[in-house]
Amino acid sequence: MGLAEPVATGRPVATRVGGRRLRICYLVPGHGLLSTVGPSRNVLSLARALSAYADVTLAFRYRLEDRAPDGLELVELEPERRPPRAVDDAAMRGMGILEFARYLARLRRFVRESRGRFDVFLEKSWILSGHLSAYGLARGIPGVPVENVVPSAARHADAGLAKRLRVELGRRLAGPALRRVPVVLAETEQLKAQIVEVWGVAPERVQVVPLGVDRELFRPRDQGEARRALGLGLDRTILLYVGVLDETHSLDGIIEALLERRPPGVELHVVGDGPRRAAYAERASTSVGSVILHGRVPHTSVPTWIAAADLCLAPYEPRAFATGALGYATMKVPEYLSVGRPVAGSPSARIRELLRGGELGFEVPADAASWRAFLADLPDRERLAAMGRAALRHPQPSWDDTARGYLAACERALSSLGK
């Protein structure tokens, strides 16, 4: 195989070590594998793109679905701990101190025993971000932390003192570990700034590589055909949210505003599952069809739902982020745009960047008052369709683009050990 030319460094990335293909382990300690939700889909999409250049093994805490990922090697770190029902792919919810200590010991053992099996680790963001990369580096196995958020204890304000202290302790321990590794991957420039500010990582050690979009799956589709396939009204103004239903992605404001204003012909369709689903379902039961929850759907069906919509939603709770600002790559927004649909997202530099300052959508705070004001002056369907067409003129990065950037980071980590 030849050499890849990543934009991230401008230099070739060696895909072979000692005459063989690079061996990468993507370690995901904080999640179980559930391909219908964002974090798992992110890892699977990247791993498949990376596999064109290297041998890739995935290591999740456990698998939360019957079928293993096609074409990828999977290690389950603790299959015996698999819960009976998968709400989302969070694998550490409710974990006590003793259980965490035991799990951490197993993770360290996995890293130690992987020397000679893998050339480099990618370490997915978790409560002790960077710990396993630093631990492996000290034992001759370089690791690259992959960050998507700087945790905020304020997000867990209602979860009790123990939970807030655990999050804050994890955040404080992550900083020293991240400062010891040669390179940290961040999904956005906004997240890089937060990593530098909160964790004190030198800016030159933080490499920004945007997440990609599956362009074959998320592509323009006819709205009428999509609605007929899903049994949705052709004359409705459809708002759509796709994603996990949790405290980070707040739908309370839009649901409250819809129930109060009840604009004629406007429907909110919610696709996904998570801890907040029961609460949303209870409120939707009084909406007389204006708020409809569909639960989890196959990932291959998501583009059809997006195509059926007039406006897609990306509401975020600012308290979920350490600096009060969205740092996520927010995969859903590029996917919405790639199908050709405008977006209403919570105000932030990242959303403003993706929506090109308002050309491709709207910044709407997640609170009910803001949604009431927006619904009172909701753009007509023709204007929304025009914004969606404009989105197609600005293609999103592909997963191959992302893979090349990650390979550049792997090369940098290997170089730190003279490999």
Exposure on the CB side of residue 249, measured as CA atoms within 13 A:
25
Quote the CATH superfamily of domain 223-391. Glycogen Phosphorylase B; (3.40.50.2000)
Decide whether 16-212+398-416 matches 223-391 in CATH topology. yes
Structure tokens at 128: 């002790």
DSSP tag of 378: P
Which sequence spans correspond to the domains of the chain?
16-212+398-416, 223-391
Tens digit of each residue's pLDDT (9 = 90 or more) over 212-225: 999 999 999 999 99
pTM of the model: 0.82
Residues linked to residue 115 through DSSP beta bridges, in sequence order: 118
> According to the model, what pLDDT value does residue 1 have?
28
> According to the model, what pLDDT value does residue 419 have?
66
- Cα–Cα distances (Å) from 91 to 34, 103, 151, 166, 260, in that order, read 10, 11, 16, 15, 37
CATH for the stretch 16-212+398-416: 3.40.50.2000
> According to the model, what pLDDT value does residue 322 have?
62
User: Which parts of the chain register pLDDT below 70?
Assistant: 1-19, 152-168, 322-325, 327, 329, 419
> According to the model, what pLDDT value does residue 39 have?
86
Percent of the chain with pLDDT over 70: 89
Tens digit of each residue's pLDDT (9 = 90 or more) over 256-306: 999 998 899 999 999 999 889 999 999 988 877 799 999 999 989 999 999
**Cα–Cα distance measured from residue 251 to residue 372, given in angstroms and rounded to the nearest whole number:** 13
